[in-house]
Structure 1
Amino acid sequence: MAESNYIKIFTGSLIDVQRIISDLEKIDISPVIKDQNESGLDPKIYGGHLLKEIYVHKDELDKARDIIENIDSN
C-alpha cells in the first residue's frame, strides 16, 4: 500500500470543520475534506451524525497544527 502525502488533522461536526477550513485557507492551506458517517447508515433516514475529516498535505502539517490548537484552546 502506498504511503499518503496527506495527514488527518481533525474529525468533527460541519460547523467546526467549516471554521477550520476558513482559517486554513487564510494561511494558504487547501485542505481535503472527507465525509465520515459514524453509524454507516444514511443520516437523513436514520438520524446518524455525519462527521467530516480534514486532511492536509504533510508539508503543511506544522502550520495546520497551529490552527487546530487555537480551535481547541477556544
Structure 2
Amino acid sequence: MSSTTPKSLSLSKEDRMQIILQLLEANPNLSSRKLAKIYNLLPSSVYYRRNGRQLSKEYHQKLQKLSVIKESSLIK
C-alpha cells in the first residue's frame, strides 16, 4: 500500500464518512461495504447515513430550546 492510503490519513470519522458519501454519489456502482472497510468505518454506519440518518449531535441540537448563540449570550 502506498503512504497515501485512506487508513494512513488522520481524518476524523465524519470526514471519512463524507468522503465515502461523495464517492458513492459520484459512482453508485461502488460497494459501500468495501469503502467502509477501506476507510475504517462500520458498513451499517455508512448505510444509515446514506439513507438520511442525521448525526446525533445535529439531532440533539434541534431539540434544544436555545440556540448556541442565545445560550452563550445568557452565560455572559
Bigger share in strand: 1
Larger Rg: 2
Bigger share in helix: 2
Q: TM-score, normalised by structure 1?
A: 0.29
Q: TM-score, normalised by structure 2?
A: 0.28
